[in-house]
A and B are shown apart, each in its own frame.
Chain A
Amino acid sequence: MKENVFKGTARIALIIGGVALALGMIGVIEAFNERDIVSDVITLGQVVLYACPLIAGYFVAKREDVGRSMVPVHGLLGGAIAAVPTFALLYITTIWETIRDSFINVSPTLIEALSFGNESVLAGGMRLVLIFAVLGLVGALFSLLGTKLRAAFLQAVAWVVGIGVMSEILVNILRPRLTSANLKALFGSGLNQTPFIFLLVGITVLSLAWQMVGKDRYQARQASMNAEQKKRSSIIRNVLIFCILMILPSVLGVYLSEIFNNVALYILMGLGLNIAVGLAGLLDLGYVTNFAIGAYLMAIMTSGSEYGLTTPVPFWIALIICTLAGMAAGFTFALPVLKMRGDYLAIATLGFGEIIRILAKSDAMKGTLGGAQGILQVPAAKISGVAASIFVPILDFINGILGRWDLGIIGSKGGEIIFDKPPQLYYLLLACCLLMLIISNRLNNSRVGRRWMAIREDEDVAAAMGINTTSAKVIAFTLSAASGGLAGAIFAAKLGSIFPHSFQLLISVNVLSLIIVGGLGSLPGIVLGAFALIGIPELLREFAEFRLLMYGIALMAMMLLRPEGLWPSEARKRELSRDDDPPPIAASAGAGD
């Protein structure tokens, strides 16, 4: 009996130790070591590395067959065993000197970091085992704390690590608004020690207080509000969000606005793909098709290069044409694949995406699409003429009132509004996103939206209920493609040039990942997913290399642990809570599937 307990400890610890080793060998630790969380004390790489024994200790201790008195022993053991794979790597490097020829990331820097810069790698390795054992013990003891305290503390750690990681960006935002002495007190190469401790304790206390007292009160107050009050509070909230969104570019500056723009582009595509995948349950892996068609059409219609039309189409008309063309493409590609279901549909749409990309790259289409060199000189969007003479004075007036918190658009230059810099483009993308959000929201609650959801749940039953599944699916594909075309068109104008290289399967997978991570069918979820998957990797340059690795993990983890997404839609939440106790009819229907 006792032997089994120890075996289990060793198994858990070895798995997590293997993860720690893998993190080192693929270069995560080394890359993350360049970012300080707490100035000169701990780096992100160390946080990731030391999280391993903590987690190992926690899971080892949490098992039911571990007696309370034995928790520290198992924690120590678990931590030490978790260090074994990494220690083995250190040992191997002492024998196999050319290891770097094979494993490119087993660099001297990594070895130095793992062995604490000791002269003797093995002595350093022993130290690593010791530290891991202690941390395993800490993790094990942590499992003995109360649930609420544990949650509060974890929340605080997450916030502090987040702030530490983002410190560079926070400094940039805060610089114009704080004195340099204050700033220096807060941030060094990461978060400084005093504010770190202050924040850690503060957030823990706050979070604890919220869980103990605040949450119940808030919920009680929410419940006691009548319909009118609820409506008013939601209006106030929306107005507030809108105002913040309007002044965001001047707060964030050019660099962050650019990141916001990329996020917005993906939100736009996510909202589109959500119609097909989230609402109608049609897994489309070729969403990049619509994006590419919108972008190429925009480039051809407006470009000043040899591939452009002789009389360029004005941007706004081109934008509408691109959206319509996206819809036409969605419609056309939908027709042949309508009879397919599930996985076959996914693979067929993936095939379409690849065909489009290879065609765009090939010599066969070089005459119109520019081949591998792409199309250059796509002009930026602009408002000129009569419209500008109306808008520019209004903008000047608003900017005059707002003063330092002005809008990102500087209107008066030459009497035109040109969307060529990130802060200006931000407003264009914001408008498109808001429009798509409103449309998606209306679609969610519309008749056709309900038809899609019925098809998503069970196509045969939906057909039996008299739903015209064919037309509903065609509409889903067509509408879903519209915002792909729109996003592509804006992408072309934003970048100023178009290359076939930009239209890889990756785009489809990115969009799919973000709506799955956010929560299928949930609009706030898509926004959240886009910020998490597109925004964060763009903010942190050392994440960029491991971005797709993280997407892969995120996709798997979401499906395994939280299939409803980070911010699930109301309908999904209800479905999943009902699943806990399925009625007998549903159970038998499920078995027949």
Chain B
Amino acid sequence: MKRKRFNYIDMVLVGLRFAIIGVVLWGIAGKFIFGIGVDYTAADWITFFVSGLSQGSLYALIALGYTMVYGVLFMINFAHGEFFMAGSMSAAVLVALPLDNAGYLQAYPIISLCAIFLSSMAVSVSVAIMTERVAYRPLRGAPRLVPLITAIGASFFWQYFFRGLFGSSLVPFPKFEIFDGKVGLFGLEFQKIDIMVIVTSIIVMVALQLFVQRTRTGRAIRAVAENKDAATLMGIDVNRTITTTFAIGASMAGVAGVLYAMVFRQMNFIMGFIPGVKAFTAAVLGGIGSIPGAALGGLFLGVIEAIGPPLFLEGLGIPGAHQLKDVIAFTMLVLVLIFRPQGIIGEKLAEKKA
């Protein structure tokens, strides 16, 4: 390691670190010692936590796409949020709403849900493969900023393409009666939909982890992530593996898209941007390139976002603290990029790369 002089930049960074910790502590103190803001009960806090977990598992699912693509290509796929949007919108407009109108949705909810999931994943995957083929593959080996700019272009292209297809107004998503209302667990009440989202995401993520660890294709993906040249020498078709990686990431985004639709029940063509950036934050939080990291990062971000405003923003005496949910996420993004670009649990990866 080279030794660097301690210059004014480092001083600013140290100051920033203390300032952030100070603000958070001040807010928490304001909340609990001086009692500023609403007084929440323990049950309220658990509700915040669970809704944060459900939100976080959506971020985690999207983050998997970022992390896997970054793992094989070292590129931030800025358009990944659009894959999520594409699947979600198409499944809603082309499958969910017609099924609901025909009455199938309430009569056979499970079959309909499967159809919705499959169509969403199919659209996400095809959008991803097209993007990879047209916009990213010709740029392998270009300077790193070039694919990023292309990705921004692709992102805008898909947003406005889908706006052209489905219009710019909000698209409603039908309500599933079986997931409506609350359920009692351990003496507490939870939204059924939150539980459903958390359980589905856990199943999907475990399946993905098994796929990547146990199957031939998964091994190929890991090999390409490790070293492309060596993988080529071992007879792995690198281009094909990269496409597969995009497809898997996009199918996760497709699943997340349906879950998002079920939670928020309305969508439009720019819905992919904010979850996309947050999922990227989650991916960096967990250490970009690591699949369990992305999952943990997503859950962590979701919980911080849900608990943060009542915990320390209200304590600072800020009016309308819940409006600043996104500010917390973006601040986390910036802070993680500044202080721990290797991620909270990404120690191993950072060592390897250094």
Q: Is the CB of B165 within 8 A of A103?
A: yes
Number of residues on chain A facing chain B (CB within 8 A): 55
Q: Is the CB of B148 within 8 A of A335?
A: no
Nearest A residue to B11, CB-CB: A335
Q: Which residues of A contact B157 (CB under 8 A)?
A: 549, 552-553, 556
Q: For B333, give its contact among A25, A101, A348 (CB under 8 Å).
A: A348
Q: Is the CB of A364 within 8 A of B323?
A: yes
Task: Say yes or no for B26: interface residue by CB 8 A criterion.
Answer: no
Task: Say yes or no for A309: interface residue by CB 8 A criterion.
Answer: no
Task: Say yes or no for A362: interface residue by CB 8 A criterion.
Answer: yes
What's the Cα separation between A549 and B155 when bound, in Å? 9
Q: Which residues of A contact B156 (CB under 8 A)?
A: 509, 548-549, 551-552, 555
CB distance from A65 to the nearest CB of B (A): 22
What's the Cα separation between A546 and B163 when bound, in Å? 10
Q: Which residues of B contact A553 (CB under 8 A)?
A: 153, 157
Q: Which residues of B contact A441 (CB under 8 A)?
A: none
Q: Is the CB of A344 within 8 A of B145?
A: no
What's the Cα separation between A352 and B12 when bound, in Å? 17
Q: Is the CB of B319 within 8 A of A546?
A: no
Q: Is the CB of A348 within 8 A of B160?
A: no
Q: Which residues of A contact B170 (CB under 8 A)?
A: none
The winner among A548, A554, A560 for most chain B CB atoms within 10 A is A560
Q: Which residues of B contact A548 (CB under 8 A)?
A: 156, 159-160
Number of residues on chain B facing chain A (CB within 8 A): 56
Given the contacts A22-B161, A551-B153, A102 and B323 also touching, CB distance less than 8 Å: no
Q: Is the CB of A336 within 8 A of B159?
A: no
Q: Which residues of A contact B167 (CB under 8 A)?
A: 104-105
What's the Cα separation between A358 and B277 when bound, in Å? 14
CB distance from B236 to the nearest CB of A (A): 21
What's the Cα separation between A395 and B215 when bound, in Å? 79
Q: For B326, give its contact among A22, A105, A354, A516 (CB under 8 Å).
A: A354
Q: For B76, give its contact among A336, A338, A343, A352 (CB under 8 Å).
A: A343
User: Tally of A-B residue pairs with Cβ under 8 A?
Assistant: 162
Task: Say yes or no for A363: interface residue by CB 8 A criterion.
Answer: yes
Q: Mark A551-580, 1 if CB is under 8 A from B, else 0.
A: 111111001100100000000000000000
Q: Is the CB of A560 within 8 A of B277?
A: no
CB distance from B101 to the nearest CB of A (A): 9
Main secondary structure of the interface of B (DSSP, over half): helix
Nearest A residue to B95, CB-CB: A102
Given the contacts A104-B165, A549-B157, A335 and B12 also touching, CB distance less than 8 Å: yes
Q: Tell me the residues in window 139-168 of chain B with beta carbons closer than 8 Å to chain A beta carbons.
A: 139, 142, 144-150, 152-161, 163-167
Q: Which residues of A contact B7 (CB under 8 A)?
A: 470
Task: Say yes or no for B23: interface residue by CB 8 A criterion.
Answer: no
The winner among B153, B154, B166, B280 for most chain A CB atoms within 10 A is B153
Main secondary structure of the interface of A (DSSP, over half): helix
Task: Say yes or no for B327: interface residue by CB 8 A criterion.
Answer: yes
Task: Say yes or no for A225: interface residue by CB 8 A criterion.
Answer: no
What's the Cα separation between A180 and B142 when bound, in Å? 56
The winner among B76, B98, B139, B145 for most chain A CB atoms within 10 A is B145
Q: For B277, give its contact among A281, A344, A352, A354 (CB under 8 Å).
A: A354
Q: Is the CB of B146 within 8 A of A559?
A: yes
CB distance from B160 to the nearest CB of A (A): 4
Q: Tell me the residues in window 107-164 of chain B with beta carbons closer than 8 Å to chain A beta carbons.
A: 134-135, 138-139, 142, 144-150, 152-161, 163-164
Nearest A residue to B13, CB-CB: A336
Q: For B144, give its contact among A339, A343, A361, A563 (CB under 8 Å).
A: A343
Among the listed stretches B29-37, B183-191, B201-209, B334-342, which one makes contact with chain A, having 4 or more residues with CB under 8 Å of it?
Answer: B334-342
Task: Say yes or no for A540: interface residue by CB 8 A criterion.
Answer: no
Given the contacts A340-B341, A552-B153, A102 and B166 also touching, CB distance less than 8 Å: yes
Q: Tell me the residues in window 362-415 of chain A with beta carbons closer than 8 Å to chain B beta carbons.
A: 362-364, 366
CB distance from B222 to the nearest CB of A (A): 22
CB distance from A565 to the nearest CB of B (A): 12
CB distance from A280 to the nearest CB of B (A): 12
Q: Which residues of A contact B154 (CB under 8 A)?
A: 552, 556
Given the contacts A102-B93, A336-B13, A470-B9, A362 and B323 also touching, CB distance less than 8 Å: yes
Q: Which residues of B contact A346 (CB under 8 A)?
A: 76, 145, 148
Q: Tell me the residues in window 267-309 of chain A with beta carbons closer than 8 Å to chain B beta carbons.
A: 281, 283, 285
Q: Which residues of B contact A359 (CB under 8 A)?
A: 324, 327
Q: Is the CB of B148 within 8 A of A26?
A: no
Task: Say yes or no for B235: interface residue by CB 8 A criterion.
Answer: no
Nearest B residue to A367, CB-CB: B319
Q: Is the CB of B324 within 8 A of A559?
A: no
Q: For B338, give its contact among A336, A361, A505, A509 (CB under 8 Å).
A: A336
Task: Say yes or no for A351: interface residue by CB 8 A criterion.
Answer: yes
Q: Is the CB of B165 within 8 A of A25?
A: yes
Given the contacts A342-B148, A548-B160, A560-B135, A363 and B166 also touching, CB distance less than 8 Å: no
Q: Tell me the residues in window 311-338 of chain B with beta carbons closer than 8 Å to chain A beta carbons.
A: 318-321, 323-324, 326-327, 330-331, 333-334, 337-338
Task: Say yes or no for A432: interface residue by CB 8 A criterion.
Answer: no
Task: Say yes or no for B75: interface residue by CB 8 A criterion.
Answer: yes
What's the Cα separation between A552 and B269 when bound, in Å? 15
CB distance from B275 to the nearest CB of A (A): 13
Nearest B residue to A555, CB-CB: B153
Q: Which residues of B contact A336 (CB under 8 A)?
A: 12-13, 16, 334, 338
Q: For B323, give its contact among A337, A358, A513 (CB under 8 Å).
A: A358
Q: Is the CB of B152 within 8 A of A509?
A: yes
What's the Cα separation between A339 and B319 when bound, in Å? 34
Q: Mark B241-281, 1 if CB is under 8 A from A, else 0.
A: 00000000000000000000000000000000100010010
Q: Closest 7 interchain pairs by CB? A: A26-B164, A555-B153, A552-B157, A363-B320, A552-B156, A549-B160, A104-B167
Q: A102-B98, A340-B341, A359-B324 are in contact. List 19 more A-B contacts (CB 8 A).
A: A26-B161, A26-B164, A101-B97, A102-B97, A283-B145, A283-B149, A343-B75, A343-B76, A348-B337, A352-B330, A358-B330, A362-B323, A366-B319, A512-B152, A551-B153, A556-B135, A556-B157, A559-B142, A559-B150
Instruction: State the B residues within 8 Å of A (CB).
Output: 7, 9, 12-13, 16, 75-76, 93-94, 97-98, 134-135, 138-139, 142, 144-150, 152-161, 163-167, 273, 277, 280, 318-321, 323-324, 326-327, 330-331, 333-334, 337-338, 341
The 7 listed contacts between A and B (C-beta, < 8 Å) are A102-B94, A102-B98, A102-B166, A348-B334, A358-B330, A364-B319, A559-B146
